[in-house]
Amino acid sequence: MSKSSTNLTIKDIAKLSGVSKSTVSRVINHDPMVKESTRNKVMAIVEQYQFTPSKSARAMRGYGNKVIGIIVTRLDSISENHAVQSMLPIFYANGYDPIIIESQFSAAKVAEHLMMLREKQADGIIVFAFTGLDSSLLTVWQHKCVVIARPFSAYSCICYDDIGAVNKALTYLYQSEKHKKIGFIGVDKQDQTTGGLRYQAYIDFCTAYKIQPNAVLGNLSYYSGYELAESVLVHSPTAIVCATDSIALGLNKFLSEKNINNIIVISIGSSELLNFLFSQTITVDLGFDKAGIYAANELLLMLEKQVNAKIITVPSQLLK
């Protein structure tokens, strides 16, 4: 077929699929009476040619509003909620309705969600990436997609300053406060950014300044910070850096229960709960709110005109 994919009509999709125009229409309208085999055959052609019905056709089917899909890793993530909250007003102001979905760190779920958003003719998507998510899943969306938290080649991405944030915390402790015994509670290195990058930044700093490393790694949870606290305290640190605010909450709870108040705690990432319960904690703000704003504005720009893929790193800030 000589037509470009952007000029295909429902008639063309019907011919390629070997079905009638009415059947294609029923598939696009999610008619439950369509056979699964027929639906799969039509959707395979739709995906292959990246077919999107015209906006007028979408309006006649009840999809008048523009739609943005937002795939978060988990709905209870403090950092991702901050980012989403800052991007929503921007989308609303520009006439887009967001659909927020949870991947639960599953690439298979991301694939399912992308298919659903494709069927609903979403105009663009924002994906909170995670270790194990392959950029090949996003190929169809490449020019109308923004990825948060991972740098994917050929995609527009919003990344956090993982290494710089840890360095800010350690530089403050070592140079400004003269601490020499600094512990670290992190996330398993299988997590490439929050885990691997932040842990390696700690190790590299210790090597550069001849500090004896005192690090333990666990899960990204309150319980992990609480349960690993004792392992770090064995080496009598005067300060402890936590890879996330959740870990810092767990560590602070342990220190409070044991009446230990002579250890400085620095959290990579800030939250209202951490600041409310343990206001003495020093935090490095990773800029979750800014990430949401950057992501929303970048996606809107992509939807208006063709732009080159770029990686934007959100600057971090030490808050004392």
Write the DSSP symbol of residue 135.
G
Same-domain check for residues 168 and 265: yes
Same-domain check for residues 143 and 239: no
- pLDDT at position 154 over 60: yes
**Number of domains the chain contains:** 3
Same-domain check for residues 4 and 50: yes
Same-domain check for residues 119 and 75: yes
Same-domain check for residues 151 and 168: no
Same-domain check for residues 31 and 133: no
- pLDDT at position 6 over 80: no
Same-domain check for residues 136 and 167: no
Q: Given pLDDT bands bounded at 50, 70 and 90, which one contains residue 2?
A: very low
Q: Given pLDDT bands bounded at 50, 70 and 90, which one contains residue 56?
A: very low
- pLDDT at position 39 over 90: no
Same-domain check for residues 156 and 243: no
| Mean pLDDT, rounded, for 149-158 | 95
Same-domain check for residues 90 and 1: no
Q: Return the minimum-mean-pLDDT range out of 27-31, 237-241, 280-284.
A: 27-31
Same-domain check for residues 5 and 26: yes
Same-domain check for residues 294 and 281: no
Contact between 197 and 165 (Cβ < 8 Å): no
Range of the domain at 98: 65-160+290-319
Same-domain check for residues 213 and 277: yes
- pLDDT at position 164 over 60: yes
Pick from 3, 38, 44, 6: which is nearest to 22 by CA?
38
Contact between 168 and 160 (Cβ < 8 Å): no
pLDDT tens digits for 266-315?
999 988 899 999 999 999 999 999 999 999 999 999 999 888 999 999 99
Pick from 199, 205, 193, 320: which is nearest to 266 by CA?
320
Q: Given pLDDT bands bounded at 50, 70 and 90, which one contains residue 53?
A: low
- CATH of residue 80: 3.40.50.2300
- CATH of residue 48: 1.10.260.40
β-strand partners of 308: none
In the chain, % of residues over pLDDT 70: 91
| Mean pLDDT, rounded, for 243-254 | 96
Average model confidence (pLDDT) across the chain: 90
In the chain, % of residues over pLDDT 90: 72
Q: How far is 68 from 141, CA to CA, in rounded Å?
A: 12
CB atoms within 10 A of CB 222: 19
- pLDDT at position 28 over 80: no
- Which residue type sits at 216? V
What per-residue confidence (pLDDT) applies to 198? 98
Q: Return the minimum-mean-pLDDT range out of 49-53, 105-109, 144-148, 174-178.
A: 49-53
